[in-house]
Structure 1
């Protein structure tokens, strides 16, 4: 009788809970709440010599009050018009400093009260750090002396951080260029109160403009006006003594970059006409070179509005793009130009050509090299040697070239030619060092460069450093991590000649900390940081990476956690949560590779399912969900079949281990993982319930491509329809919890996706719940929102997964 009363009480509580329409923010069980409230370790910066360490502290979450501050969404940006900085900026609230070899850090004194610190910028000589502090009146420039451990406000100027970082150091470290609010900036239009003067009209002149489904775009003349006012800046020079002088007049400045020698400044300026279909970074702009006194030297680029470009992920615009300074030269520009008109459908031997142009920047530029795929970057060495990289999405190929910058007639030599999805064959990244211009260039010692890699292999992960003979292109391994119970990440080289490198070491229950390692001396390890594990309540949870096979033989893996206190010998059947995110591959061998290290620290971030090990659940996190399409077949041609195959293999594997009741398995995911969840509940009977956060469910609303699908809806309507949970809402088989931020700005996952999908499910009689989070974007940042999401998920799992048997299902 007591059990019947308890069961009736359970039904009463859950029924009334799910029937409510108005609900204040809730909190999850105390075991989960304690993990959320754990203090956040600081971010770490270590200077290039390995001498000084800066620690930057912040709260893990914003408050809903902070998230509710005024926000304008214009041209792909989200701006607080009162403070003139991105409305979604994450702030630090404290800075400490320490010597690398000492344990205790010292407080930076003189920091602003109730600090909201952002846009940290280290001076070229690494002695000072400039930063912004945001108050109710706007953004102001502050500076801290690292050696003295003191900070001060450098200027009372109101800065403009709407278009990115407004801080740029002069190369001598004695002054900065900053973007200031113009004195004559006009008042913004209150769009909610403005009286329209006419309709908003967009037109098509017959050219194809197959753009992604961008959000936060301009949509009216009033938007255009407000965007321009918020983008306008006046460039000022501020010395370390706080003296302010004019540098450049008012314009819409987007990017400012000093030449390596500090004698020139490259400046991008946004121009009109604006667009209603693409973000601001595709608006017209020009690139000018000024000297260090602000005198115009040369216009080096003039780019028109880029609304229309060829179709495909590898499409790009024509003309000069990716313009940068050569790191090894005093003042030489380089850039890429498409040789296929930016159209991946055009067959050419070389997709891109790379040119350079030295001061005084006149002429068309000198050819450096041509790349077979789309150019992606250069690591500069010296006059006779540099490393270039390219990539091609369609076959996932990437190439690296050694070339001679001084002689374009010498054919570049391809040194690496591989699939960038093939982690086992990854040779690593070339190690760089700071040159006399404070720029990163290739580290070369007696004809030898160095490669630093993650070290994934069939035997596990063992990060490494290789010597690379630049003449013979042969490698010699000089260091390989030997840990089997920890994970050692190779962070950077401090002094390769002496063998001193910076590493980060962690284990399942050992918080990640930094160390200096001398690879020339055995077991030579010096601690730099000593952070404690803030999540001790789950430090002893059972964790392992399990491997299993899909029905077609494809190797898969996932990270398995057992509930706290679970006796592995008992084989008690527990409920399980499976959490995943699908990824597309062009070959099965890459898809089958093991890239999960079991020794990674157990970190329960806000979106993690790991919290539920405290509530009696088995958790299979980051389960492999590869979607493979080899040759001419696209991965999405068999998306649903492979999706279900992945899920079945995961459940079978854990079930065979004897840990779970396979009738009480829930599935969840965020973004594309939410899309996966909805599809799994529609096309299989594997799950008791699902949780889908911030997803897209109707692919006809993203008709010109989504995720890794570059075909349009009209190219392959069957793919879009088959993959859309909305089109298959009548097949929904299990209860689904939908959660979405009301201010989602991610391409394609606008809130309408969840709203219309929920209405379809409700209209068809499916069990579903829709939770819309006020003010939240694609990821959730207010603590109130995060706690409520965890509560919603917990209540859903308790009712529809853990207690499924109890309610007669």
Structure 2
């Protein structure tokens, strides 16, 4: 038996290795990259439609044009996977660049265009207007660093203003405009330091992970710090020198001392900076945003006006809880320099029974007094935004019941409840308040635990405005409502037509009498339009054409069907070009489950049958051009109150998959 078995193994090995030996004898060729069918390559390489950004003065659209995909050379650049990030150590920026190659400025009034001067072989990112819209800042990534450029929006002329300095974008967007429309505050690579720490050939000691005898649950993160050498690399590459650039004179003024800056956010009046500095010990379990931090308010010279918090490591924070100390700190958008933040009253643990979960506090410049309490919340604090007239809208939510409430806060008055609803129920969503875009970018500040909080909510007379996706049983119909904060009555001033998908983008006037929308339909590519609140007409601003005509042979249907427990589900079925009903083709199902608190919320339809099909990035939809049908995003709700939803995860997932397959079979 043994001899026979050995003989069989020898024979098998001979068969397996014979082709390889034959190949070597014939002259071995190394493997090469394979290409998919030409139809996929052609669609994959098409440059996507330009992304757009409206200037704060509402007069200009910036259109950014980019390449469809990075090259193999770009993907092969060195990558440092550390502290939850992936950066290029040669450039001090993200490993994957934005691939923007050009910028065009289009006037909203007449559609006239100006091209922005960009450097040769441009690799542009982080485009943002100055608060008055007169200038446009952007970064350009070169082989060994990142430069800062500024353009005149009237002429398009641009110049590099960073000189020999390099931006440090390892922690995110490194620059912010100040309200003077002249100054940019940026993170720089410190000058005059030596090479990066070398990996020791002989370890100086073991890698130690300590346990302090208490539970420390955490999600699974990628690219974390693992060794002492990783810690040294993190400290080296992520340390920045904050500096102010005068875009008129080209002058540079350092601010403070070099530090690992997780976030830096200017106050609305530009006189102060909210700074979050990362400090040791660096965690090996969570990414950099949850490392220990000192949160401080600086003046323009880097002097500390007030220390807000000494934030410990985020290790051990309950999975459904929050940090026990100050969190969510941001500038109040309607005030020159007023800081807001939240503090947990339950230690951050939702299982602790307390009358109030959180409190919100505030302190104004010069930050010498004691913080004033603004509000306490029975549920977990979700956010606080202010209108231009100083009226606050405070959100709170309850994990157990999956309900959310919004309160109106007015000086000298008791809070008034504006809404209470199921947070998962799409049909009940009243929309989000429309805000001004005075910061020159979409985020209102740079990442991290802090932030700018966005612009103030538009408030004209007694009215604010709400924009929402408008979920209905027939699909999304985006809307804009006008809400009276005195009477709490609302009226609808815009709703997308049933045969198109038109979404609100931004105000085009201070009183919201005109606004910008983006509209598409199955036959019309997305374009931007100016709408008048009091009429039903719209004026086109852009005229983007179909970039992927090879996809027009693809048919798609928005379908609904039921799970065996009666829960309504939905999906979009795409069929390949040339498909005829009755043909049998392979089907790919692309899905991701989501938790819901109740069956009714899970049954509510979201999505739209009126999207124009465009495929970009690394999308599974490219396989339509290889003859596959795709059942895209079939809803797979996991239903249960509070933390109980996942108690029956597998059963509900299988039931949703069975219902999707049954629907595909039913459709032939």
> Which ranges in structure 1 are unaligned for 5 or more consecutive residues?
1-15, 660-809
Equivalence for 1:567? 580
Equivalence for 1:590? 601
Among candidates 416, 423, 426, match of residue 413 of structure 1: 416
Equivalence for 2:3? none
Equivalence for 2:451? none
Equivalence for 1:429? 432
By how many angstroms is 1:627 displaced?
Answer: 2.0
Mapped partners of 1:262, 1:348: distance in 2: 39
* CA offsets 1:30-62 (integer angstroms, 9 cap, x no match): 222222122211111122343212111111211
Task: From the superposition, tell whether residues 199 and 245 of structure 1 become closer, same or farther in structure 2 (CA, over 3 Å).
Answer: same
Equivalence for 1:167? 175
Task: From the superposition, tell whether residues 476 and 615 of structure 1 become closer, same or farther in structure 2 (CA, over 3 Å).
Answer: same
By how many angstroms is 1:434 displaced?
Answer: 5.4
Q: Does 1:548 align with 2:545?
A: no
**Secondary structure of the corresponding residue to residue 115 of structure 1:** coil
By how many angstroms is 1:433 displaced?
Answer: 2.9
Task: From the superposition, tell whether residues 134 and 613 of structure 1 become closer, same or farther in structure 2 (CA, over 3 Å).
Answer: closer
Among candidates 228, 232, 235, match of residue 235 of structure 2: 228
Q: Is the 8 A contact 1:185 1:229 kept in 2?
A: no
By how many angstroms is 1:498 displaced?
Answer: 5.7
> Which ranges in structure 2 are unaligned for 5 or more consecutive residues?
1-18, 24-28, 445-453
Among candidates 497, 504, 516, match of residue 518 of structure 2: 504
Task: From the superposition, tell whether residues 62 and 572 of structure 1 become closer, same or farther in structure 2 (CA, over 3 Å).
Answer: closer
Mapped partners of 2:475, 2:50: distance in 1: 29
* CA offsets 1:223-258 (integer angstroms, 9 cap, x no match): 211211112222222111211222222222222111
Task: From the superposition, tell whether residues 566 and 375 of structure 1 become closer, same or farther in structure 2 (CA, over 3 Å).
Answer: same
Aligned ranges for residues 162-311 of structure 1 at < 5 Å?
162-191=170-199, 194-240=201-247, 241-309=249-317, 311=318
Equivalence for 1:528? 541
By how many angstroms is 1:633 displaced?
Answer: 7.4
Q: Does 1:115 align with 2:143?
A: no
**Secondary structure of the corresponding residue to residue 460 of structure 1:** coil
Q: Is the 8 A contact 1:263 1:291 kept in 2?
A: yes
* CA offsets 1:116-168 (integer angstroms, 9 cap, x no match): 11222321111111122111221121111111111111122122111222212
**Secondary structure of the corresponding residue to residue 638 of structure 1:** helix
Equivalence for 1:603? 614
Task: From the superposition, tell whether residues 489 and 576 of structure 1 become closer, same or farther in structure 2 (CA, over 3 Å).
Answer: same
By how many angstroms is 1:22 displaced?
Answer: 7.7
Task: From the superposition, tell whether residues 332 and 643 of structure 1 become closer, same or farther in structure 2 (CA, over 3 Å).
Answer: same
* CA offsets 1:605-639 (integer angstroms, 9 cap, x no match): 3444433443443332112222222x477232222
What is the TM-score when the length of structure 2 is the normalising length? Answer: 0.89
Q: Is the 8 A contact 2:273 2:298 kept in 1?
A: yes
By how many angstroms is 1:468 displaced?
Answer: 1.1
**Secondary structure of the corresponding residue to residue 506 of structure 1:** strand
By how many angstroms is 1:534 displaced?
Answer: 1.1
By how many angstroms is 1:65 displaced?
Answer: 1.7
Among candidates 438, 448, 455, match of residue 470 of structure 2: 455
Aligned ranges for residues 380-779 of structure 1 at < 5 Å?
380-381=386-387, 385-404=391-410, 406-407=411-412, 410-433=413-436, 440-481=455-496, 483-495=497-509, 497=511, 499-522=513-536, 524-568=537-581, 571-629=582-640, 631=641, 634-657=644-667, 659=668
Q: Is the 8 A contact 1:331 1:359 kept in 2?
A: yes
Q: Is the 8 A contact 1:121 1:167 kept in 2?
A: no
Equivalence for 1:4? none
By how many angstroms is 1:70 displaced?
Answer: 1.5
**Secondary structure of the corresponding residue to residue 427 of structure 2:** coil
Mapped partners of 2:368, 2:245: distance in 1: 30
Task: From the superposition, tell whether residues 579 and 140 of structure 1 become closer, same or farther in structure 2 (CA, over 3 Å).
Answer: same
Q: Is the 8 A contact 1:288 1:296 kept in 2?
A: yes
Q: Is the 8 A contact 1:466 1:477 kept in 2?
A: yes
By how many angstroms is 1:324 displaced?
Answer: 0.9
Task: From the superposition, tell whether residues 22 and 401 of structure 1 become closer, same or farther in structure 2 (CA, over 3 Å).
Answer: farther
Task: From the superposition, tell whether residues 73 and 268 of structure 1 become closer, same or farther in structure 2 (CA, over 3 Å).
Answer: same
Task: From the superposition, tell whether residues 346 and 267 of structure 1 become closer, same or farther in structure 2 (CA, over 3 Å).
Answer: same
Task: From the superposition, tell whether residues 648 and 450 of structure 1 become closer, same or farther in structure 2 (CA, over 3 Å).
Answer: same
When structure 1 is superposed on structure 2, of 96-105 and 298-307 the one drifting more is 96-105
* CA offsets 1:418-473 (integer angstroms, 9 cap, x no match): 22211100001112235799972122222122222211122432222222121121
Q: Does 1:333 align with 2:339?
A: yes
Q: Is the 8 A contact 1:498 1:520 kept in 2?
A: no
Q: Is the 8 A contact 1:560 1:620 kept in 2?
A: yes
Q: Is the 8 A contact 1:547 1:558 kept in 2?
A: yes
Aligned ranges for residues 142-157 of structure 1 at < 5 Å?
142-156=149-163, 157=165
Q: Is the 8 A contact 1:516 1:525 kept in 2?
A: yes
Task: From the superposition, tell whether residues 275 and 653 of structure 1 become closer, same or farther in structure 2 (CA, over 3 Å).
Answer: closer
**Secondary structure of the corresponding residue to residue 539 of structure 2:** strand
What is the TM-score when the length of structure 1 is the normalising length? Answer: 0.74
Equivalence for 1:51? 59
By how many angstroms is 1:298 displaced?
Answer: 2.2
By how many angstroms is 1:396 displaced?
Answer: 2.6
Q: Is the 8 A contact 1:57 1:92 kept in 2?
A: yes
Mapped partners of 1:231, 1:66: distance in 2: 22
Task: From the superposition, tell whether residues 332 and 645 of structure 1 become closer, same or farther in structure 2 (CA, over 3 Å).
Answer: same
Task: From the superposition, tell whether residues 91 and 434 of structure 1 become closer, same or farther in structure 2 (CA, over 3 Å).
Answer: closer
**Secondary structure of the corresponding residue to residue 601 of structure 2:** helix
Equivalence for 2:449? none
Q: Root-mean-square deviation (CA), in Å?
A: 2.4
Mapped partners of 1:433, 1:134: distance in 2: 30
Q: Is the 8 A contact 2:148 2:167 kept in 1?
A: yes
Among candidates 27, 47, 50, match of residue 39 of structure 1: 47
Task: From the superposition, tell whether residues 213 and 578 of structure 1 become closer, same or farther in structure 2 (CA, over 3 Å).
Answer: closer
**Secondary structure of the corresponding residue to residue 207 of structure 1:** coil
Mapped partners of 1:606, 1:166: distance in 2: 25
Mapped partners of 1:215, 1:608: distance in 2: 22
Mapped partners of 2:390, 2:250: distance in 1: 43
Mapped partners of 1:394, 1:618: distance in 2: 39
